Amino acid sequence: MTDAELIRRCDTVFPGHRARTPADMYAAMAAWCERHGIEHDVYGAGALIESFENKVAALLGFEAAVFCVSGTMAQVTALRLACADRGNAPAALHPTSHIFVHERSNYQMLGHFDALQVGERTRPWTLGDVKAVPDRLGAVGMEIPMREIGGQVTPWDELEAIKGYSKEHGIHLHMDGARLWEAQAGFGRSAREIAAGFDSVYLSLYKGIGGLGGALLLGTRAFVDRAAEWFRRQGGNVIHRSPYVVSAAMQFDARLAAMPDYFRRTELLYALLAAHPEIRVNPAKPAANMLHLHLPVDRERALAIRQELAERHGIWLFNRISHGVLPGTSYFELYVGDNLLAVPEARLREALALFANTLK
C-beta separation of 329 from 297 below 8 A: yes
Helical H segments across 216-284, by residue range: 221-233, 242-249, 252-273
Helical H segments across the chain, by residue range: 3-9, 22-36, 47-60, 71-84, 98-101, 106-109, 127-131, 156-168, 180-187, 191-195, 221-233, 242-249, 252-273, 299-313, 338-341, 345-358
pLDDT of residue 19: 85
Q: What is the pTM of this model?
A: 0.95
∠ Cα 191 194 200 (to 5°): 95
Q: CATH 3.40.640.10 residue ranges in the chain?
A: 38-250
Indicate the DSSP class of residue 149: G
pLDDT of residue 157: 97
- The string of pLDDT tens digits covering residues 61-89 is 999 999 999 999 999 999 999 999 999 99
C-beta separation of 60 from 178 below 8 A: no
C-beta separation of 220 from 63 below 8 A: yes
- The string of pLDDT tens digits covering residues 155-196 is 999 999 999 999 999 999 999 999 999 999 999 999 999 999
C-beta separation of 218 from 57 below 8 A: yes
Residue 141's closest CA among 188, 77, 187?
A: 77
Pairing verdict, β 172-176 and 215-219: unpaired
C-beta separation of 215 from 68 below 8 A: yes
Residue 278's closest CA among 354, 227, 212, 210?
A: 354
pLDDT of residue 231: 96
Neighbours of 323 (CB within 10 A): 14
SS3 35: helix
Distance of alpha carbon 35 from alpha carbon 24, whole angstroms: 17
Which residues make Cβ contacts (< 8 Å) with residue 282, sequence separation at least 6?
149, 150, 152, 291, 292, 294, 331
Distance of alpha carbon 301 from alpha carbon 291, whole angstroms: 21
pLDDT of residue 106: 87
Going 94 to 63 to 217 to 249, the CA torsion angle's sign is: positive
Distance of alpha carbon 212 from alpha carbon 325, whole angstroms: 33
Regions of the chain where pLDDT drops below 70: none
Q: CATH 3.90.1150.10 residue ranges in the chain?
A: 3-16+254-358
Sheet holding 64-68, edge to edge: 64-68, 215-219, 200-204, 172-176, 139-143, 91-93, 115-117
Going 252 to 257 to 259 to 265, the CA torsion angle's sign is: negative
Q: How far is CA 205 from the centre of its chain?
A: 10
- The CATH T-level fold of domain 3-16+254-358 is Aspartate Aminotransferase, domain 1 (3.90.1150)
Pairing verdict, β 290-295 and 91-93: unpaired
CATH of domain 38-250: 3.40.640.10
